[in-house]
Amino acid sequence: MSNTGLIQQLETRGYRGGVISTRHLNDLREEIETHHRQGLINEEFYEERLRGFSFSPPESLPEAQSLIIVAVRDPQVRFTFTRNGKRFALIVPPTFLQWRETDEEIADTLREILESAGHP
């Protein structure tokens, strides 16, 4: 399966995606760190979701040559509640709700696409 075919299949399922060489992992690390230093990444999100990233192929795939990146549109959620007769609005970032389910859904989708193309 070509990278273009993979990306097209992801897009038909409502995702955005890309494929990069593992040679660019250090570039990716530096870009994330630069955005973090510039204050472009929320500190709590960075600590919870990005600080622990490993920028090398996993031990189970030491000779991996490509990295598949998938982006999901996941809107924020607005809650309104009343306390002592006053209404309060609360906006919850998408990373706080159902992110585990979203991660599993993406993994299942990638597995399905890759297996159907003969990649176990």
Domain range spanning residue 48?
A: 3-116
Spatial distance between the Cα atoms of 20 and 34, rounded to a whole number of angstroms: 19
Lookup: tokens for 6 = 């993979």
Spatial distance between the Cα atoms of 112 and 120, rounded to a whole number of angstroms: 9
What is the per-residue pLDDT across 49-107, written as a single tens digit (0 to 9) for each? 888 888 888 888 888 888 899 988 877 888 898 999 999 998 887 767 677 888 898 99
Spatial distance between the Cα atoms of 76 and 15, rounded to a whole number of angstroms: 17
Burial 27-58 (b: 16+ CB within 10 A, else e): eeeeebeeebeeeebeeeeeeeeeeeeeeeee
pLDDT attached to residue 45: 85
pLDDT attached to residue 1: 66
Burial 1-20 (b: 16+ CB within 10 A, else e): eeeeebbebbeeeebebeee
Model's pTM, two decimal places?
A: 0.65
**In total, how many domains does the chain have?**
1
pLDDT attached to residue 116: 87
